[in-house]
Every structure is written in structure tokens, then in C-alpha cells.
């Protein structure tokens, strides 16, 4: 299944609808220690250029593109140990995946170097951070927050095609591991009752990146910005029950109207 052109327009409109609920300054607030270590991996000029941006949103967009160029230059120059260190920084320091082993990071790094885009769902959150170093315009990060927002935003947009994107394991308690978390309130079965069709796990990443590219074109943004938009809205959808209730209420009203009920 593939979203129609009209679906893509509706998804873009729904993202814009919730755009004012993004706090672009608070979201993606970098840890000072992480950026200090980035300077040692790149240069102080590299970090200083990022800090010229006025807010964290723009700073992180620039980071994604500049870090990709730096990483690709290191690989091209056969400075693989340095490129591996940058990959480790992005996954652990910037990405916040602290409990990942160096062996797994090494596997992700090798797959990125050799452009092996196949992404097993088990490691999708960490490996997609490595793959995004290859080409930010084509390969974006997929994690639990993005998956939450992708599912909810389709509901808010009332798309004709509804695809359920599985939510990877996360330590974020407002999404998992809590009796009042997002997945407890709206599990996969609930989405399926709302006509969502689960995306096969082996196809999730390719379908996700293709959809982001289409939505980005409609919104006249970069795919990185759309991914960050989804990332940020996950906090609204998982931590503000009134927002989710609003969207579910709209869906119930649409169903009543379709069934000829008041």
C-alpha cells in the first residue's frame, strides 16, 4: 500500500496544523558535554559555525548536514577510526543511546561505509542514526518518537491509506514502560481497529524514507526537517492526553457521519 497524492497533501496540512505546538528552542537541546567532545572529533571552528544558528532547531539541521559531509570526507580519506568515532558520537552522545555496545556500533558503521541500507527492525533506532550520515536527504532517523507521530498524524489527517509504523523499543516512559504511556492508551490493536495496516518490519525503513521525501516536497522543507517535526510532536502526542483525545474525537465524529449518525 502507498499513500495517495491527496494523502500526502493532508499529512503536510496536519503537520502544519500542529506546528505551533513545537517548542523549537527546548527540543533538541544539546548537552554541553556532547558538543565539547564533538569539537575534539571535528574542530572548534566546526562547532562554532553550528553555534552561529539562533535556535536549537536550525543548529541541529545544520549539524545533520555538516556532520554528514565531515564523515564522508573522513571515509574518503580512509580515516576510518576517526569516522567510527564520529558515528559513535552521533549514536551515543547526540542520539542518547547509551546502552549500545561498541561491537554493534562497529557493525552499523561498516554497513554505512559499504552503503548497506537494509535495516533490521531490532536495531532501527541506532542504525538509522549511522545510515543518516551517508545522505541526509535520502536516509533519515527512525525511532520510537517518529513512529508515534507518524501513526497519530495519519489519524489527524484522515488519510485514505493508513499504515501502522511499529514503535521500536525505547526508554521514554511516556511512550513505553508506563501504565499510562502512549502504547498503553493506544496500542497497535487500537490502530488496526481504526483501519491501519501494519507495515512489514523489513519494509518499514524504505517506506518511511520514501514517505518523508514526498511530504517534505509538499511542505517545501528538507526531509531532515520533517523527521525532526515528527520527533518533536511525539512529546505532544504522548504527553498531552488532551491532544490525542482531540484527534480521536475527530475520528469518532467522522465515523458517525459516514454511518449516517448524528
Please spell the DSSP secondary structure of 219-259, one letter per residue: HTS-HHHHHHHHHHHHHHHHH-HHHHHHHHHHHHHHHHHHT
The neighbour count for residue 236, using CB atoms within 10 Å, is 18
CA 207 to chain centre: 13
C-alpha to C-alpha distance for 107 and 245, rounded to whole angstroms = 41
pLDDT in tens, the chain (262 residues): 899 999 999 999 999 999 888 866 666 666 677 888 899 999 989 999 998 988 888 888 999 999 999 999 999 999 999 999 999 999 999 988 888 999 999 999 999 999 887 788 889 999 999 999 999 999 999 999 999 999 999 999 999 999 999 999 998 889 998 888 999 999 999 999 999 999 999 999 999 999 999 999 999 999 999 999 999 999 899 988 899 999 999 999 999 888 876 5
- pTM score above 0.85: yes
C-alpha to C-alpha distance for 57 and 28, rounded to whole angstroms = 7
Strands 197-198 and 163-164: parallel
**3-class DSSP state of 197:** strand
Burial class (CB in 10 A: 0-12, 13-18, 19+), 132: buried
How many residues make up the chain in this entry?
262
Q: Read off the DSSP letter of residue 24.
A: T
Amino acid at each position: 500500500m502507498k499513500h495517495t497524492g491527496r494523502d500526502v497533501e493532508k499529512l503536510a496540512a496536519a503537520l502544519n496544523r500542529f506546528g505551533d505546538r513545537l517548542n523549537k528552542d527546548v527540543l533538541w537541546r544539546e548537552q554541553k558535554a556532547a558538543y565539547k567532545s564533538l569539537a575534539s572529533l571535528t574542530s572548534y571552528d566546526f562547532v562554532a559555525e553550528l553555534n552561529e544558528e539562533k535556535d536549537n532547531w536550525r543548529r541541529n539541521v545544520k549539524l545533520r548536514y555538516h556532520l554528514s559531509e565531515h564523515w564522508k570526507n573522513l571515509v574518503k580519506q580512509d580515516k576510518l577510526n576517526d569516522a567510527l568515532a564520529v558515528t559513535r558520537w552521533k549514536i551515543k552522545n547526540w542520539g542518547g543511546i547509551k546502552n549500545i555496545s561498541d561491537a554493534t556500533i562497529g557493525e552499523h558503521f561498516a554497513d554505512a561505509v559499504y552503503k548497506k541500507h537494509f535495516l533490521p527492525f531490532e536495531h532501527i533506532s541506532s542504525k538509522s542514526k549511522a545510515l543518516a550520515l551517508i545522505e541526509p536527504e535520502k536516509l533519515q532517523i527512525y525511532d520510537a518518537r517518529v513512529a508515534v507521530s507518524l501513526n497519530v498524524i495519519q489519524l489527524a489527517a484522515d488519510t485514505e491509506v493508513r499504515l501502522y509504523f511499529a514503535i521500536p523499543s525505547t526508554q521514554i516512559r511516556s511512550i513505553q514502560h508506563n501504565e499510562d504511556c502512549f502504547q498503553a492508551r493506544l496500542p497497535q490493536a487500537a490502530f488496526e481497529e481504526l483501519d491501519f495496516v501494519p507495515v512489514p518490519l523489513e519494509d518499514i525503513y524504505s517506506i518511511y524514507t520514501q514517505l518523508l521525501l514526498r511530504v517534505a516536497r509538499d511542505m517545501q522543507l528538507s526531509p531532515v526537517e520533517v523527521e525532526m517535526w515528527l520527533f518533536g510532536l511525539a512529546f505532544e502526542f504522548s504527553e498531552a492526553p488532551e491532544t490525542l483525545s482531540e484527534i480521536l474525537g475527530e475520528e469518532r465524529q467522522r465515523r458517525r457521519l459516514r454511518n449516517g449518525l448524528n
